[in-house]
Amino acid sequence: MALFLLIFAVCLLIIGGMVAILLLSRTPRYRTEAEDLLALFDRALEGTVQETEWQTLVNYPIRHDDALEGIRRRAQRLMDEHGRPWQAAQGGKLFTREGCAELAALREHLARHQARRQSR
């Protein structure tokens, strides 16, 4: 009986510890910042970004900054209107010429926004 109680107590301690760890730990969260979007836009303009990288960053909602969320939505719309994922898979650019021009303007807008934010 003593052996049973000892094994039961050890198992209860291990299971209780695991439950406590799971309750106290937080799930990891990815937070998209302006620098991440600037780097993505630069690589897209150079033609070195893959469609999966673009979709991973642009399709993930940004809840901590409304201005960045607006830029993300504009980038998402840009992909819908001017995206060419079939050419990016073959080593080409992800966007048409018009799309690259709009992406460059969006990148400049984001860079100005980031400069204003850092100067405060």
pLDDT digits (tens, 9 = 90+) for 35-65: 999 999 999 999 888 888 999 999 989 988 8
Q: What is the mean pLDDT of the segment spanning 1-22?
A: 94
Q: Given a cut of 80, is residue 29 above it in pLDDT?
A: no
Q: What gap in Å lies between CA 23 and CA 17, rounded to an integer?
A: 10
Query: Residue 102 contacts by C-beta under 8 Å, 6 or more apart in sequence?
Result: 78, 82
For residue 30, what pLDDT band results from cuts at 50, 70 and 90?
A: confident
Q: What is the mean pLDDT of the segment spanning 11-32?
A: 90
Q: Given a cut of 70, is residue 88 above it in pLDDT?
A: no
Structure tokens at 109: 């807008």
C-beta separation of 78 from 106 below 8 A: yes
Burial of residue 32 (CB within 10 Å: 0-12, 13-18, 19+) is buried
What pTM was estimated for this model as a whole?
Answer: 0.74
Phi and psi at 95, nearest 5°, equal -125, 160
C-beta separation of 68 from 62 below 8 A: yes
pLDDT of residue 28: 73
